[in-house]
Homo-oligomer: A and B are copies of this chain.
Amino acid sequence: MKNPLSEKEGEIFPPSAFCQVGIVVRNIDETLKYYKKVFGFGPFEIREVDYPTATYYGETAGYRGKRAFFYLGPIQIELIELRDGKTIHEAFLREKGEGVHHLAFEVKDLEEGKRKAEEAGLKVIQSFTRPDGSGFAYVDSDRIGGVSFELIQRPARKT
């Protein structure tokens, strides 16, 4: 169900690597109930996340949250519910209310993606990296057009 990656030279956010739509919601359980009953979406995977070393505008801040995942065709939908910590999701909910927060792109090398993004004049405004190098980074792409873009490097599969 995943798009093939195609990272041509100079492409920080390869169009074919578009993999996820992220939605900030007030209450995941209530939203899933609605999405299942009225729209027939699912199955859902629900997860508690904890990113103690996550950065927020360059400073280590850390946050926890609740997440739900499901698929619409080949695209993963992520529902984001706040727990605590400083996040761009909290700012989004406070300023705009519930709704689509980001479009995400899967990359093979997060560090390289962050470096290329910064070389292109983008700022990494929130990020988290696991010991294996996987993780995510949001950039300030929303300053024109209003949409946050995220880079995701998936954890290596345990075999």
Chain A residues within CB distance 8 Å of chain B: 3, 8, 10-19, 21, 23-25, 30-31, 34-35, 38-41, 70-75, 79, 96-101, 103, 120-122, 141-142, 144-147, 149
Contact = CB atoms under 8 A, between A and B. Distances in A.
A122 B39 CA distance: 10
Centre residue among A34, A40, A73, A149 by max chain B CB count within 10 A:
A73
Contact of A100 (B3, B74, B99): B99
A99 B98 contact: no
B13 A40 contact: yes
Contact of A72 (B18, B39, B121): B18
Given A3-B73, A141-B39, A97 B18 contact: no
